Chain A
Amino acid sequence: MSDPKAFDKILTDIIRQDKHIKKVILVDKTGLTIANVSKLSYYPVDVDSIGAIASAVFCASEEQGKNLQIGELEIVTSEFSEGKIFASACGKGVLCVVSDPEVNIGMVRLVMKKQGVQLADELDKFLAVEPLTPSDKDKEIDEEDLKSALAELERV
């Protein structure tokens, strides 16, 4: 079974590579944020929204590439006056790095490429585990949660 801490470890390795990297987020291609780390413990951003946008932008660029028949998308770089956002492919997910403008772009690209392979492996394990071999205990918890959500929904 995949250890959820494995994601944090890899993301932490990435954020330590350059002092200008502020945030690293891992999302799946449906826009769900799977893990994230920040350089500062208090970095006031809505991670779920950032993840949803990062994933959608990356997937839209992928679609653009398919339409233009220009091969596989490797990385999307967005440059702003006060920062940069990088998004790269990692198997079934998208790795997103937020940085200051002074960041070493070559270093970021290298690190994202290298760690992306490892993240892709971990993601495969993580995403494969639940549908294939859910333990009875996990299944019960899910069902209870769903039942409680159903009850809450009726009260809205």
Chain B
Amino acid sequence: MIRKDDKGRIHLKLVFYGPSLGGKTTALRWLYGKVEGLQKGEFTAIEDETNRTLFFDYVPMSAGGRVLFDVFTVAGQKRHRHQRKVVLQGTDGILFVADSSPDQRDENTESFEELKLFLGDALGREIPIVVMLNKRDLPNRMSRDEMLDLLGLGGNVPIYETIAVQGVGVKRAFQAIAREVILKRMYK
């Protein structure tokens, strides 16, 4: 459903989802700080004193006058499961940030399974998803194929290899999910 505010602006909600410390907030902060073509509102972060997300980060972004993307991240730590469920309400698109570190293998799987549980059949159908394979600069990173097998992803989901701390691939992944969401709205 397209949501409009009292000024007639169309809002689309995008959520960065994924395991703890995978790079969700880093990717959003990079978009916020480094991408000049997007108009951005204030960065809101509900985090603890060590900058770990407690609930969500939120930035409104705009590409064009009347279409706004409300971009959220979720708190990745396992105990914040209920907060993640709340943040997912009404989402129009998912950017799943997977961690390429081999010791995060189980965390990636658990997080993706949880996402499928929360969104059910809507994931990938009504709600587009783009996957970021993050931390591709790690020397011992898992291979792309290994990660896709791990997540059970075939060829129908856009995949981007990213290094969020350097911004590598982040803008392209964001453009991809924003494009998918808009196209879904236009042609559904």
Contacts and interface: CB of A to CB of B under 8 A. Distances in A.
Interface string A54-83: 001001100110010000000000000000
Q: Which of A46, A67, A150, A151 has the most CB of B within 10 A?
A: A150
B63 A52 contact: no
Contacts of B63: 149, 152-153, 156
Interface residues of A, number: 38
B2 A30 contact: no
A143 to B, nearest CB: 6
B5 A56 contact: no
A106 interface: no
A69 to B, nearest CB: 14
Nearest to B86: A59
A98 to B, nearest CB: 16
Interface in B1-60: 1-6, 10-11, 13, 35, 37-38, 41-42, 44, 46, 55-56, 58, 60
Interface in B76-91: 82-83, 85-87, 89-91
Nearest to B43: A49
Contact of A49 (B5, B58, B83, B182): B58
A142 B90 CA distance: 19
A88 interface: no
A150 B6 contact: no
A116 interface: no
A26 B162 CA distance: 38
A156 B10 CA distance: 19
Contacts of B65: 145, 148
A4 B6 CA distance: 7
Contacts of A56: 46, 55-56, 83, 86-87
A51 B44 CA distance: 11
A95 interface: no
Interface in A7-63: 7-8, 28-35, 46, 48-49, 52-53, 56, 59-60, 63
B89 A150 contact: no
A148 B41 contact: no
A30 B182 contact: no
A148 B64 contact: yes
Given A31-B70, A142-B2, 15 more contacts: A7-B6, A8-B6, A32-B3, A32-B90, A46-B44, A48-B70, A56-B46, A56-B83, A60-B82, A60-B86, A63-B86, A130-B1, A131-B1, A156-B37, A156-B63
Interface of A: 4, 7-8, 28-35, 46, 48-49, 52-53, 56, 59-60, 63-64, 67, 130-131, 142-143, 145-156
12 contacts: A32-B13, A32-B90, A46-B41, A52-B56, A53-B46, A56-B55, A60-B83, A63-B85, A131-B1, A143-B186, A153-B175, A156-B37
